[in-house]
Every structure is written in structure tokens, then in C-alpha cells.
Amino acid sequence: MAAVTMRLPAARGPLGSSAPRGAEKHLVAPGDTITTDTGYMRGHGTYVEDDKLIASVAGVVERVNKLVCVRALKARYNGEVGDIVVGRITEVQQKRWKVETNSRLDSVLLLSSINLPGGELRRRSAEDELAMRDYLQEGDLISAEVQSIFSDGAVSLHTRSLKYGKLAQGVLVQVSPSLVKRQKTHFHDLPCGASVILGNNGFIWIYPTPEQKEEEAGGFTTNLEPVPLSDREVISRLRNCIVALVTHKMMLFDTSILYCYEASLPHQIKDILKPEVMEEIILEARQRLLDLQG
């Protein structure tokens, strides 16, 4: 009953014929000359050498009037106020937690920025400080919103709404932050039977849709009941679809994930990760997205 598949490696070329959407993007690699015109101001990802503007990262050139910058393809997460992030607690310190969010510095979650269980609104006391580990421990996953950014670039988070808080059973997928599309909402209840949180920092959390909304919990009680097999299949399939989308560098948003899921239904869950099946699914999903656009 064991299945072992081996294959010879194949050079990965561009998938199908990707029609140029809109203007041609100016892609550069580190060391490429962007322009020799000295009238431009240099932005992030560029430097000047011998009167030439050279790119220091691999990415897309963006020009706003006189400012030229290069937006990197794969970079650490840069926090912006109002972003939804999914993070993992790395340290428990005095009156704060350090959260790993795939950024240059660990993000900070202050004790005053969380909802106490029971929805109490009061000043945090010394007992609360000692009981911090009862709320969030090292290794726990949370969903939070960016409240502010410190001067050194570290992000300060808060979970002051009932929809944020500690995450229960589910699957985490880590992708590059540049692949998560900015949308109005990042919490999606997909019609296929699972829910997904698309963190702006590239952490995608897939979990079974909760039966009823828990009002009082404030997000700290974890449901430890076993997840039924049907939900597990949906979650595993979604996880493989997201991995497939990321391998082909497609933007992640609820519609693309859903189209990819529907395209993958004829195949077995574990086959989605095979290169040829992945290509087929992605082509179909891409076609549907193009049809949707225009």
C-alpha cells in the first residue's frame, strides 16, 4: 500500500503562454542598470554607481514621478497599520509577548493590547503579568492586527476584537508576503467547508469553520475536539492548492484559492503536489481568473 514516486528533474520553464497583462513590467536582477538618467531620485532597492542607477534587489521597478524604487519579489514582511497578521509567540517577556511574523524584527504584543478572557475591561495588574503564560505560551499562533510601528520598524500588534486571538486546530502555510493580495477582509469562510485567514505577512491559516460563533471567549479557549475526516480532507486539499499557487507565483486571494480548489477536485489530494498535476490545475485556475477579469 506504500506509494513511492520518483522522477527525473525537469527544468521549470514559464507555464503556458502568460499573456502580458497591461504594460510590460520592468523586471530587474541585482546589478542591473535601471537607468542612466541622473534626474531621478533613488528609492528603496537601488543605489548609484558611476552616474548609473543600479538595482540591489530582484524585483519590479516602480516609478512615481521622479522617484525610482525596486519592489523586491521575495522580501521580509514590512508592517503597515491596519494589516491582519498571523504570528507565532516566540518569547514571553514582562508585560509583552514577542511574536514572529516573518519580518526583520520580532513583532510586539503588549499585555495591554489583548482582550482578557471574559471580556473584562480593566487595568492590567501584577497578577495579570504573572498569569501571562496562561493566556499565550511560546509556540502559540495568534491572529492580530497591526496597531502601530515603532521607529526601528518593529510592529506592535493588538487583538482587541473578538475575531482576533489565539488560533486553535488547523494548518499553517508560510508563503512570501508579496503574494498575499491586499483586500477588504482577510478572514474568509470558503464555501467548500473550511475557513482561511490570509495574513499579510505571508502566514496563511486554514482551519475548520467553527459551528457557532463564541461570543464570550474573546479567543482564548481552544477547541481540542478531533476534527472530522471530511473537514480534514477539505483543509488538506486547500493547503495543497495554496502550495501549488505559491509555486507558480500567483497572487493569493479568496477567489484564486477557490478556483484552484475547484480545479483540483478531480484529482486525489496527494496528487496535487505532483508537478504535472499542479500545472494542469494552475492553468485552469488562471484561465478562470482571466475570464473573470474581462
Give the interface with other proteins as residue ranges (CB under 8 A).
1-12, 88, 90, 138-141, 167-172, 222, 224, 226-227, 229, 232-233, 236-237, 239-240, 243, 268-270, 272-275
In the complex, the smallest distance separating the C-beta of residue 136 from other proteins, rounded to whole angstroms, is: 10
**Cell 552616474 appears where?**
51
User: Given the complex with other proteins, which of 19 and 224 has the nearer CB atom?
Assistant: 224
User: Given the complex with other proteins, which of 27 and 273 has the nearer CB atom?
Assistant: 273
In the complex, the smallest distance separating the C-beta of residue 154 from other proteins, rounded to whole angstroms, is: 20
- The residues facing 70 across adjacent strands are 61
CA atoms of 61 and 34, how far apart (whole Å): 8
Give the helix/strand (H/E) hosting 286: helix 275-293
In the complex, the smallest distance separating the C-beta of residue 214 from other proteins, rounded to whole angstroms, is: 15
CA atoms of 203 and 212, how far apart (whole Å): 25
User: Given the complex with other proteins, which of 243 and 289 has the nearer CB atom?
Assistant: 243
Q: For residue 281, give the 3-state DSSP assignment.
A: helix
Please report how many Cα atoms fall inside a 13 Å half-sphere around the Cα of residue 112, on the Cβ side: 6
What are the C-alpha distances in Å from 278 to residues 69, 173, 179, 268?
Answer: 34, 17, 18, 12
CA atoms of 228 and 232, how far apart (whole Å): 6
CA atoms of 222 and 76, how far apart (whole Å): 30
User: Given the complex with other proteins, which of 70 and 272 has the nearer CB atom?
Assistant: 272
Give the helix/strand (H/E) hosting 237: helix 229-247
User: Given the complex with other proteins, which of 2 and 64 has the nearer CB atom?
Assistant: 2
In the complex, the smallest distance separating the C-beta of residue 151 from other proteins, rounded to whole angstroms, is: 27
In the complex, the smallest distance separating the C-beta of residue 230 from other proteins, rounded to whole angstroms, is: 10
In the complex, the smallest distance separating the C-beta of residue 119 from other proteins, rounded to whole angstroms, is: 22
User: Given the complex with other proteins, which of 186 and 239 has the nearer CB atom?
Assistant: 239
Please report how many Cα atoms fall inside a 13 Å half-sphere around the Cα of residue 171, on the Cβ side: 19
